[in-house]
Amino acid sequence: MTGATTFRDAVRDALAEEMDRDPRVILIGEDVGPAGGVFQQTQGLYDRFGPVRVIDTPISEAGFVGIAIGAAMAGMRPVVEVMFGDFLTLGLDQIVNQAAKVHWMSGGQFRVPLVIRSAVGVGGATGPQHSQSFHAWVAHVPGLKVVYPSGPADAKALFKAAVRDDNPVIFFEDRMSYGAKAPVGGPEDVARLGESAVRRQGSDIALIGIGRMTALALEAADRLADDGISAEVVDVRSLRPLDVEGLTAALRRTHRALVLDPAPRAYGAGAEIAATLQESAFDWLDAPVGRLGMSEGPVPFAPALERLVLPDATRIVQGARELIGR
């Protein structure tokens, strides 16, 4: 492991290392070139790799996502940046009806080794059109892989795995985690997609976090420990493929689970995980699998109201106590 690196720099370094390793890897998106990205997440790449491999685009998600799909089918390995996760909606036809289906519809004659990275999350007073996370939308589509790391080390190792994968991968980055620091791996530290990770061991309840919810779950686990409650914290990391075996193992150890989703609870990824656990580990349950998610409604601009939208450690503690019956 190297020294402490921010989440933002971990993904940028992973991309730079993969561009060094494979000349087929290119970066496409809005303001990814000389501007260095709206969150400075591509800073320095244009100077290092030039305008042929770091390509600024017009404001047309459907256009540049479609171009990237064609490039992937022709043998390139494009990384597409969709500035905010909300704007995935503008490229959904290309993502859902083309990228996800080309391999199947061509009888395996074409592959689409494509990564679409996008910043999501609540915070920074960006309002209802720049604060959503549509991970459940794309995870619903067969043919796509969906990754949602929680910290710098995973962000780097999982991003490298996504670039090397021969399938289209949607890679979500919570922009409120961009400044988080932690040691990261070297150029050859590549994760496997589809594996969850236990961040803290426990025996009374499993707190299963998606993205930034994992860090909040760790904070909640500390507070629960003060009350004599042992909480295991599991980081989902990959929504498709989902590590059913790993998540089920956590439930077998704890017999209770609370799934934490940074998106609205209804029809969400947390619901899928909860249903899967109910099916795969019903005999081990001492209580129904609980779910906690973002408030149902558009995200407000006002910082004071915005802070009420995403579950915090206090709400996680309350949810865990209710499941345990304390």
Q: Give the rounded distance of the alpha carbon of 112 from its chain centre.
A: 20
Catalytic (active site) residue 140: no
CA distance 47 to 40: 14
Other Cβ atoms less than 10 A from the Cβ of 142: the count is: 8
* Catalytic pick among 61, 81, 232, 306: 61
CA–CA distances in Å: residue 39 to residues 119, 176, 292: 9, 11, 28
Peptide bond just before 113 cis, omega within 30 deg:
no
Catalytic (active site) residue 130: yes
Q: What is the DSSP letter of 322?
A: H
Q: What burial class does residue 295 get, using C-beta atoms within 10 Å of its C-beta: 0-12 exposed, 13-18 middle, 19+ buried?
A: middle
> Residue 191: which of 214, 208, 171 has the closest Cα?
171
* Catalytic pick among 17, 81, 103, 130: 130
**CB under 8 Å, gap of 24 or more: what pairs does 104-109 form?**
104/143
- Answer for the pair 57, 28: CB distance below 8 angstroms, yes or no: yes
Q: Report phi then psi at 138, rounded to 5.
A: -75, -30
Residues noted as catalytic: 61, 130
